[in-house]
Chain A
Amino acid sequence: MSTTQGEPITAATEHQLAGRSLGWWGMIFFITSEALIFANLIAAYLYLEIRNMGGHWAFKLPSGDYLDVVFPLINTFILLASSIPARFAGASIARGNRRNMVLGLLGTIVLGSIFLGGQLYEYTNLFASNFTIHYQAFGSAFYTLTGFHGLHVTVGILFLLICLIRALRGDFTAKNHFAVQAGEMYWHFVDFVWIFVVSTVYLLPLLLRP
């Protein structure tokens, strides 16, 4: 319990912290709060949908069709798959394997970028059919919810890019790699929350179509 003079001692050691680091807990509560922003946006999406609902699902494209589901589901698959290299990177550096960490980070960034590209491609097609953020409450709700998620993917990619640069500089060791751990946590969150977004925006209308 005592500190020797001049010898630095971390809070974790002094409080005899067992288990997860303080940073891990901090990240958990940060992510909780982020998740609740998504929950609120999804609630707003459903609220507006219900306000406009007359018997069946109201949010339709200007052409009168429902949103296409096939392409977003392929894209979903790519995003969810990107969690695997992220886990691989985290597990590798925990064992001190820097080469595999770099490979894992690289794989995650590539898959994440493909997802973002896919989302942009989808947006371009929708724009071409006059479906923009100005198009009724549906346009506003759709672009806000999916765009907010896209923003999180972008932040996640930047997060992992910084980790990648630091990894190439050799900053991380088996004991000291919290940035990679936090980046991985954030990435899993971004993937996980997309399941809820995709279910709300694309899958729910499938159930409630006439």
Chain B
Amino acid sequence: MATRTIVEAPVVERRKRLDETYIGEWLMTTDHKKIGVMYMLTGFFFFLAGGVEALLIRTQLAVPNGHVLSPEVYNQVFTMHGTTMIFLFVMPTLTGFGNFVVPLMIGARDMAFPRLNAFGYWMVLFAGIFLSSSFLLGQAPNGGWFNYAPLSELTSNCGNAVMCTPALNEDFWLLGILLLGISSIAGSLNFVVTILKMRAPGMTINRMPLFTWMTLITAFLLLFAIPSLTAASVLELLDRHLGAHFYQFAAGGDPLLWQHLFWSFGHPEVYILILPAFGMISEVLPVFSRKPIFGYTFIAWSGVAIGFLSFTVWAHHMFAVGLPPIAQAFFATSTTLIAIPTAVKIFNWIATIALGKVSLKVPMLFACGFIAMFLIGGLDGAALAVVPFDYQVTDTYFVVSHLHYVLFGGTVFGIFAGFYYWFPKMSGKLMNERLGQIQFWLMLIGINLTFFSMHILGLLGMPRRVYTYPDNLGWNEINLLQTVGAFMLGLAIMVFFWNLITSLRSGLPAGDDPWDAYTLEWDTSSPPVHYNFLTIPTVRSRRPFYDMKNPDIADWKTATH
């Protein structure tokens, strides 16, 4: 009789490949969701860095004749505050949202070029590290975030630019910006191709969710605007290191050329920073008002109008340099024109909320805060378009107030609205409502304490970027008030990170669709599976997920779009 012996199957022991380990999986991923999360984490890290820089500035300015920082370090800190917040916080974070949400929203399995997507992310990370590493050498950029040529260039008779500003400060800025530009181009062409070519069947252009619309417009703006910045930076580097004379008046160059090139990037850039936030608000408001968005077509196409107009307004940053009157008239007109499509959006959002069954969850709070704060910032912008008024307040704290109302009150509120809205999808957990409300009210009070009083300070004539001020100009109380407000904002951000960490560890499970939402990203598990959808959905209206949940009253049965 044959005996049967049972042999243990040999266990194949082999080391895991790098991409099978937890860390390696993140390092080597080309999954749009993981890349999106990494973009956001990187953005939030630099948000903290930029925030610390802001608090340093406010501490320095809290009382007259302050000496918290040295004048040299102060210049570096305000330059890096602007640069970090714009290029390393807002842009990567918005790209992160786009990466995570857009393919899910349009029913795709990934971006069109996943590896290019990963390349773009790593480029941002290393450019950010490169830019920030300048602090280690004590040579952080110090020419302001728009790095005007005379500040970074030959001033009188030093022969060439490097001899005049020999330190590496500006080189860090220029090279860092070039790297970030490459990343932005890679990211934006990826968005354009993804959105134009990879939408789910049935999702026509006029059925795309509005966040996708705004991301598409932003991507086009980046494609067309970044080249100006690239060209300007290359010319500056040539001036500094190869002895060219682009920005040197004595040799036939012109420092104004830098301003033209920079702002013909810089003004589309401000819409690059705000349009995705417009998109997020347009997703959040209808869901929490239990209504479809009011005036979808107007919101979408006013975004396109803003995109076009944004290329025609750059010289309103330069009214004080002495352009010919006809040019000033042109740029003042085009700037005022841009208020029209922006106002169209604001009225649409208000009409969306009106008569809806509003539920004031935290994303909705931030969305409402966005409308109010952005409106103030927008009105400031319309005021600054008036040339004589601009002469009066240019380069004062009035301008600082304007840009913080639109970027902090606008974009950052939008980012938080979007983050609280999509966090359950990203993590499968809910954020804590109570902490979110505390953060919202702290931020709303903090922002108005800090930035509203800057209007008055600007009208009283305090220039921006000054190191300190004497105590007999009537600026003392307002400055102190702003410092208090800034620390309130810092506290609010601490509450946010506390909320984020505790919710990740022990938040309530969110389920797939915690907000009873309308768009496709909620029609998958939370967090979404690697391949996003088991089968790619077919879209028949602007609210495809709503249709699936309510087949009897589906939009496509009534609406004509």
Interface residues of A (CB under 8 A from B): 1-3, 11, 14-17, 22, 25-26, 29-30, 32-34, 36-37, 39-41, 43-44, 47-48, 51-52, 133-134, 136-141, 143-144, 148
Contacts and interface: CB of A to CB of B under 8 A. Distances in A.
Given A22-B197, A41-B231, A2 B244 contact: no
B407 interface: no
B59 to A, nearest CB: 40
Given A36-B224, A137-B252, A139-B244, A26 B113 contact: yes
B227 interface: yes
B73 interface: no
Contacts of A140: 235, 238-239, 244-246, 253
A134 B245 contact: yes
Contact of A29 (B193, B234, B260): B193
A44 B235 contact: yes
Contact of A1 (B190, B201, B226, B260): B201
12 contacts: A11-B109, A29-B193, A33-B185, A34-B227, A37-B230, A40-B227, A44-B261, A134-B244, A137-B245, A137-B253, A144-B234, A144-B246
B228 interface: yes
A97 to B, nearest CB: 29
Interface in B515-535: 535
A139 B245 CA distance: 8
Nearest to B220: A29
Nearest to B114: A11
Interface string B179-218: 0000001001110110011111100000000000000000
A29 B254 contact: no
B329 interface: no
List of 10 A-B pairs having minimum Cβ-Cβ separation, nearest first: A140-B244, A137-B252, A36-B227, A40-B231, A29-B189, A37-B227, A136-B252, A137-B253, A25-B193, A134-B243
Of the candidates B108, B253, B261, the one having the most CB atoms from chain A within 10 angstroms of its own CB is B253
A139 B109 CA distance: 51
Of the candidates A32, A33, A47, the one having the most CB atoms from chain B within 10 angstroms of its own CB is A33
Given A44-B261, A136-B245, 6 more contacts: A1-B536, A26-B193, A29-B189, A47-B257, A51-B254, A137-B245
B110 interface: yes
Contacts of A33: 185, 189, 223-224, 226-227
A26 B190 contact: yes
A51 B252 contact: yes
A32 B228 CA distance: 13
A26 B187 CA distance: 11
B189 A48 contact: no
Contacts of B252: 48, 51-52, 136-138
A14 B246 contact: no
Given A30-B185, A137-B252, A22 B246 contact: no
B260 A47 contact: yes
Given A133-B243, A140-B246, A48 B254 contact: yes
Nearest to B190: A26
A56 to B, nearest CB: 16
A30 B535 contact: no
Contact of B246 (A11, A36, A52, A141): A141
Nearest to A42: B231
A47 B253 CA distance: 9
B112 interface: yes
Contacts of B257: 44, 47-48
Contacts of B116: 26
Contacts of B235: 44, 140, 144
B113 A44 contact: no
Contacts of A37: 227, 230-231
A187 to B, nearest CB: 19
Contact of B193 (A14, A22, A47, A138): A22
B198 A15 contact: yes
Contacts of B260: 47
B251 interface: yes
A25 B196 contact: yes
Nearest to A21: B197
Nearest to B537: A1
A51 to B, nearest CB: 5
B242 interface: yes
A151 to B, nearest CB: 11
